[in-house]
Amino acid sequence: MTMSKLTFIHTADLHLDSPFKGLHSLPSSIYERMKESTFHSLHNIVSLAVEKKVDFVLIAGDLFHSEERSLRAQIKLHNELIRLKDHHIDCFIIHGNHDPLDGYWVNLEWPENVHIFGEETSFKPYYKNGKLMAHLYGFSYPTKRVTDNRTQEYVKKEGPDFHIGMLHGNVQGASDHEAYAPFKVEQLLEKQFDYWALGHIHKRQVLTSEPPILYPGNIQGLSKKETGEKGCYLVELEKKRTRLTFQNTAEIIWKKVEVPIDGLTSFSELYSCCEEVIEGIRSDHYGVMATLMFTGSGTMDDFLQNDQEIEDLIVSLRDGEERKKDFIWIAEWKVETNPDWDREELKHSELFAGDIVRLSEQYEDKDIDEALNPLFHHRRARHFISKLSTSEKQELIRDAEKLLLNSLLKERT
Amino acid sequence: MKLRTIHIYGFGKFENKTFENFSPNLQVIYGDNEAGKSTIMSFIRCMLFGFPTKGQSEYRYVPKTHSKYGGKLIVELEDGEIIQIERTYGKATGDVTVQFSDGTIGGEETLGELLGGLDRQTFQNIFSCDLTGLQNLENINEEMLNRYLFEAGTTGGSGLSHVEQELDKKLSELFKPSGRKPTLNQQLFELEKVKERLEDWKQKNETYNNLLGQKGKIKLELEELYTDKKNYEAEKHLLEKKKQLLPLVNEQKSLEHQLKELPSYAPFPEDGVQRLEKWKSQIVLLKGEWNELKNRCSNIDREIEDLDLNENLLNNGGKVEALKERESMVQNKKEALRSYKTEINTLEEKINRSIGKLGEEWSEEDLLETDTSFAAKEQLKELLSSKVKLEQRKEFLDHSLMKAREELEEAEQEGNQLREDLLSDQEYSEKEEAVQKWDSVKNREERIHVLTREIQLEELNRSSGGKKESSFLPMYLLIGFGVISISFLFLSGEWIFAAVTMFLLVLGSLLFYKASQQNPSVDSGADLKALDRKREELTRLKSIHHKDEDNLEQDARNALYLLELHEKASFQYGHAKERIKRLARNYDQEAEKYDEWEIEYHTNENKLMAWIHSYRFPVSFPSASLIEGFELIERAKEEIKQRDHMIKKAGVLEEYLAKEENELKELCDQFAIVYRGTDVSLAMLWQKYQGELDKRKQLEYLSERRRDVMESLGTVEQKISTCQSAIEELLDEAACSDEDSFRLKGNTREGAIKLQQQLTLIKHQMRMSGYSGEFIKSIASSENQTQQEIDLQVANVKTKLTQLTEREKEMNRLAAENNHKMESLLEGENYVDALHEYHQSQSRFQQGAYEWAVYAVAKDMLGRAKSNYQQERLPIVLEKAEEYFSYITEGKYTRLYQPAGDRGFTIERMDGIVFSPKELSRGTREQLYLSIRLALAGSFSKKYPILLDDLLVNFDRLRSSQTRRLIQKVSEEHQVLFFTCHPYNLDSFEKEELLHLV
């Protein structure tokens, strides 16, 4: 008897045709690539599946970005699934909070190699060469909001060698994500499955490796926060050992890089420093959306405090990138250099600036709301402004304080 | 910051002056007026804040006596570091150098930093004041106080208000709640538009599912429709077949029935009825023709009758035609007659004219009788020409005669003249004698000369031997002379002399020759003798010399000349005589000729006269015009003859013409034509004759036609009888008694044949329709179904089919529409585009919003900090001021209230009464302001030196000492430079605190 083995790809959070956050004023060539990037990544995943002759592909929810999924996304997905079918690769799909069953759906006829879980938790058998190889368990979100723990619905049905759970939900403790279908790792471990294909959290993370319980992350970074390589896991599952290989499939990667200004004394030095940093992250395989962080301290700090000057710098750094395949596009920059003043000292000084520091420490959320009211609660504007998160609010206060101290304490020029 | 040393290079009255070791606490500077207190205060200000520029009102203290402007301050900073601030003359506010203890050097900026943003105005208001400066505080209000407070609290950087302004500016640039221009407003506007588009697309996407459902339904219905249609089509086909065959079947039945019912129709000739009809119609046609011909015949007869031919005229046709033929000839003759008559008239006139010319005595008869033969004419011509010739000769003869006479007379005259020129005979002999005398003289001299010569030659010969030649010399000379003389004589006409001379000469020469011939025979002796003879002769000759020899020569010469003249004249005279003789003879001859002419002339005249007579010309007729007259007569005779000839010819013509006219008149009478002259009558007669000729032709033509018609009538009658017999034959063949029964029988037969043909055709059609015999039989047997019934059924089926087709069309259209809609939804990246665009726009907006938020929060924080600061700090300052004021007034005034709005400070006295500063006495007021000022100065984080310039002038003793004490107390923390010119102020200060300016 040969050792039973399954080879499959685990992916999730395709967010096909999802728009990007925090991007604007892109040159058209890059904009077009960004628009296509989720599809490219999916295509690469399918190509990988074909190339590796996997048994099946698991997609653990959030295939689309919202309940109002675009037709194009559905058709492209459909085409990719057909490709899998052409290579006799099955595909198991659950839907998540971003593409629940009640969402807008085109009645596309999925090819027969595609198995979609319904809203009730159930299992589906997988046969390889006529032999039952695995049971796959899972459910799709009937609506957007599934906030209860559904782990007890997963009931192991004996039979095949392998049992694989698919779950789109939030592992307890992950604060940044909305708590959909929450679960605890222990609860999953109790099930004694051979693999847990999770979805929902965009950041790739392996919760446990024995058995593998993991988030493959999304397949394409969608904002500056989703940095680093994105793709899928190629899983070779055996009873005795399991091999997990992460494969980047994204063609555009978000990166955050630091530009320390220490010791820089002129614009040209600053410029070459930036160039050096940029060239350091250039890759043959993908384009990069970069966030530049100016850090350290030095004489170029003054320069960086001037919005116009810094914007000119960025424009010249961007120049020509739109024509490169391996572009580095500076999507954002942040001046995080150390100020001249000692904040702690100021806090205890009797100077007016001290009052500012002291005040900013006591500045409350309601103060912010009050200050931002004219725009953030503006009849028309409010629809387009998302609420500030706690961390954003903190950042806002720091930025405002910095602005004030800069104005008050910097020498007159 | 504490002042330690002041070093003035040049400023106001000071030059290179140093004030050292200033107290870190209180430094009193005492000096009289003009000692330089204010100068020092200004110097300090200038060192710190720069020299006043020329535009500013403040006094600049530029040294008047020396050139170096500026100086330096040595200052101790809060942390104890000693630095040096030097300012010298330079651009604008001067060149400043700040030197730190570690040797580093800075400029204006560093100084500004050290002063923590303190400006000159604030320094002057708070830290450096005199009495007037104190008064400035009088109008202090809340805002100003706050400003001082914030300036006291900020160290460097932009002024607060500047920061606030910047924030406001940024905020309004980014967003205004109801603006359009600011960045965020614009972006918002765009964002809304994109959003709208996006919503649009969402809506469209939702329709996709509906469309898909629709599509399925349509497909299903289409399939159903297809099946239904097919069934109906089959039914329709069957019905149509039935419909097609049914009439054929019915027809067959009916035909068979009709055939049975028909009566007998044999025997009957083939095409009998047609043939009968043919003959019948033939007869009708022929009868018509017969009538027509008959009719025509009678017409022709009538026409012939109507013609009314004039036979008589036609019989006389020859005459008429002859007349007509001659018409042009008659015309010509008339013309000729007219011209003859004209000519006769002309000739008559000519004859009369000729007679007129010849003279009245001439008559025509005379003329005719006159001989004008050619011979007569020639004779006349000859006579006349002789006459002319004779007349011409007379003229010539006259002339010759006259000329001969003239010449003769002339010659006679000339002869007479010449005779007069001749010498008389006596004269002549005298002259000849004179000449002979001279000649002898001359001969002697000649001899002398010759002899001399001969002698010489002889002598010479003797000595030389030759003497032949010399003997000839005289002969030669003689000959020469003779020749000359002869020629001369000849030339002068002296023929006789010449002849004589010549004779002499020849004689002389002969002699001489003889002599010389004998000489050679003479021997020398002889010669000597001859010579001697000669010498003798010579001597003798020489002795004969006439005294009047010279006169002789003269006379001889004259005589010779006259002789010559005479010779000449006599010669001419001889000539003249000869000539006269000749001329006289000539004259006689001429005269003879004249006589001969005269005789000849008369003879001719007589002959002419005889001619005139014989030819009957009048004698008066001038002979010169004879020829002309002769010719005139000749012509006139010719003309008369011509005229008579013409008259004769005219007579012949007239006769002819009369005959013609008569003939014409006769004919006209005969045929009743009124005679109107030859031309017209002839024309009328001719016309009438032509008319009769035409009628005759017409008659001939009509007769011809009548003959033809009669012939045709015979033929037609024959044809008619042929047809009638053919009809009889037909009736016999069909065994019919009359035509009607024949026809009936014929028709019956016709009908039967037709029916049989139809039957055959139908059978054929049924065979050709391709339906089986059974099917046809089934139709034939189901007699209950009528055509209408089938039609109705077909119509029903058709309606059904049309409905189905319509429905199908509609469904197809819907399907196409549906598909199109679906395709456009699938194809369109529009939704995705809009989605991405929306997110881009939103991102940009969000980022802008964040930027705005930073400014908004910053502004809010600044506002809060400001009010916090005021709330916290102002009370402290006020409390301090209150404390100072209370101290100076020794507790008389207890409370100080902060200004609010435009209202200034208020003060509460110990008894609770409240005052405004204006209500206080001047001194007290000054004390109040000093207190506030000191309190404010104390509130500054940086302790700048306080400069006080004689503030205590208006203070009473007690309060001024209290003040001094206060100042001393303040100076413990805050360096104070106290300037005064009043020695009493010095009492309470320590000695070491004092700087005395001299």
CB contact under 8 A, B856 and A411: no
Residue B157 has pLDDT above 60, yes or no: no
A139 Cβ contact partners less than 8 Å away, ≥ 6 residues apart = A94, A117, A118, A119, A120, A121, A122, A150, A153
Angle at B987 between CA B981 and CA B992, to 5 degrees: 85
CA distance A381 to chain B (A): 7
Fold for domain B187-244+754-827? Helix Hairpins (1.10.287)
Q: How far off is chain A from B915, nearest CA to CA, in Å? A: 32
CA–CA distance, B792 with B262 (Å, rounded to integer): 37
Q: What pairing do the DSSP bridges indicate for beta strands A56-60 and A90-94?
A: parallel
CB-nearest to B208 from A106, A363, A397 is: A106
Q: Under 8 Å CB-to-CB from B53, ≥6 apart: which residues?
A: B92, B93
Tell me: the pLDDT tens digits for B642-681? 888 989 988 988 898 888 888 888 888 888 788 887 788 8
Could you tell me the pLDDT band of residue B466, with boundaries at 50, 70 and 90?
very low
Q: Region B440-465: what's the mean pLDDT?
A: 79
Please compute the mean of the pLDDT values over residues A35-50 and round it to a whole number: 92
What does the pLDDT average to over B231-239? 85
- Using DSSP, state whether B946 is helix, strand or coil: strand
Q: How far is A134 from chain B (nearest CA, A)?
A: 35
Residue B654, SS3?
Answer: helix
Over its C-alpha atoms, chain B yields an Rg (Å, rounded) of 98
Closest CA–CA distance from residue A106 to any residue of chain B (Å)? 6
Q: Kindly list the domain boundaries of chain B, sorted by start residue.
A: 1-115+943-998, 187-244+754-827, 416-583
**Amino acid identity, residue B874?**
L
Task: Please give the order of strands across the beta sheet that includes B994-997.
Answer: B128-129, B946-949, B976-980, B26-31, B994-997
- Closest partner residue to A21 (CB to CB) among B175, B843, B865 is B843
* End-to-end CA, chain B: 27
Chain B residue with minimum CA distance to A377? B177
B870 chain-A contacts, CB cut-off 8 A: none
> In chain B, which residue's Cα lies nearest the Cα of A387?
B846
Q: What percentage of chain B carries pLDDT values higher than 70?
A: 88
B835:A351 CB<8 A: no
Q: Specify which of A40-44, B314-318, B613-617, B655-659 reaches the highest per-range mean pLDDT.
A: A40-44
Contacts of B205 in chain A (CB under 8 A): 68, 70-71, 104
Q: Are A300 and A34 within 8 A, CB to CB?
A: no
Cα–Cα distance between B603 and B556 in angstroms, integer?
73
Q: Is B897 helix (H, G, I), strand (E, B) or coil?
A: strand
Q: What is the ipTM of this complex?
A: 0.76
pLDDT above 80: residue A362 = yes
Q: Which residues of B touch A374 (CB under 8 A)?
A: 175, 177, 856
**Cα distance from B912 to chain A (closest Cα, Å)?**
34
> Would the CB atoms of B153 and A70 count as touching at under 8 Å?
no
Residues B730 and B736: their CA atoms lie apart, in Å, by 9
pLDDT tens-digit series, residues B604-616: 888 888 877 777 6
For residue A162, what are its two tokens? 């392998």
Predicted confidence at residue A83, as pLDDT, reads 92
Contact A23 B839 (CB under 8 A): yes
At A106 the pLDDT is: 61
Q: How far apart are CA B383 and CA B607, in angstroms?
A: 7
Sheet containing strand B2-11, edge to edge, reads: B14-19, B2-11, B70-76, B82-88, B95-99, B105-106
Q: Is B155 on the interface with A (CB under 8 A)?
A: yes
pLDDT (mean) for A83-95: 92
H helix or E strand, kind and range, residue B8: strand B2-11
At A296, phi and psi to the nearest 5?
Answer: 80, -165
CB contact B209 to A (< 8 Å): yes
Q: Which CATH number fits the domain B1-115+943-998, given the four candidates 3.40.50.300, 3.30.310.160, 3.40.50.150, 3.40.50.12160? A: 3.40.50.300
Residue carrying the six token digits 């909001």: A145
Say how many CB pairs under 8 Å bridge A and B: 182
Question: Considering CB atoms only, which of A359, A384, A407 is closest to B163?
Answer: A407
Q: What is the pLDDT of residues B14-57, one digit of tens each?
A: 888 888 888 888 888 888 888 888 888 889 988 888 888 776 66
pLDDT-based confidence at residue B969 (cuts at 50, 70, 90):
confident
Phi, psi of B931 (to 5 degrees): -60, -45
Buried b vs exposed e over B329-366: b needs ≥16 C-beta within 10 Å? ebeebbeebeebeebbeebeebbeebbeebeeebeeee
Tens digits of residue pLDDT in B387-413: 888 888 888 888 888 888 888 888 888
Q: Residue B151 pLDDT more than 70? A: no
Q: Closest-CA residue in chain A for B939?
A: A350
CB B966, CB B972: distance < 8 Å: no
Higher pLDDT, A89 or B216: A89
Query: How far apart, in Å, are the Cα atoms of A174 and each of A299, A398, B804?
Result: 41, 26, 65
Across the interface, which of B157, B854, B859 has its CB nearest the CB of A408?
B157
Q: How many of the other CB atoms lie within 10 Å of CB of B688?
A: 17
Measure in Å the smallest separation between the Cα of A222 and chain B Cα atoms: 11
Identify residue A19 by its one-letter amino acid code: P
Judging contacts by C-beta atoms under 8 Å, the chain B residues touching residue A25 are 840, 844
Could you tell me if B173 lies within 8 Å of chain A, comparing CB atoms?
A: no
Q: What is the pLDDT of residues B734-770, one digit of tens each?
A: 888 888 888 888 888 888 888 888 888 888 887 777 7
Q: Between A30 and B154, where is the model more confident?
A: A30
B21 phi and psi angles, rounded to 5 deg: 55, 50
What span, in angstroms and rounded, lies between the C-alpha atoms of A320 and A282? 14
Selecting from A350, A400, A409 the residue whose C-beta is nearest the C-beta of B857 gives A400
Picking from A106, A107, A386, the nearest residue to B846 by CB comes out as A386
Question: Per residue in B169-222, pLDDT tens?
Answer: 888 888 888 888 888 888 888 888 888 888 877 777 677 767 877 887 888 888
Q: Hey, where are the domains in chain A? A: 5-248, 251-338, 344-413
Residue of A nearest to B191 (CA): A384
pLDDT band, residue B373 (cuts 50/70/90):
confident
Q: Which of B284-298, B494-508, B570-584 has the highest mean pLDDT?
A: B284-298
Q: For the segment B682-693, what is each residue's pLDDT rounded down to a tens digit?
A: 888 888 888 888
pLDDT 10s digits, B898-940: 777 667 778 888 888 888 888 888 888 888 888 888 888 887 7
Domain A5-248 sits in CATH at 3.60.21.10
* Contact: A411, B843; criterion CB under 8 Å: no
Assigned token pair, B421: 């020129």
Q: Which residue in B200, B837, B861 has the most chain A C-beta atoms within 10 A of its own C-beta, making it the best mutation to test that interface?
A: B861
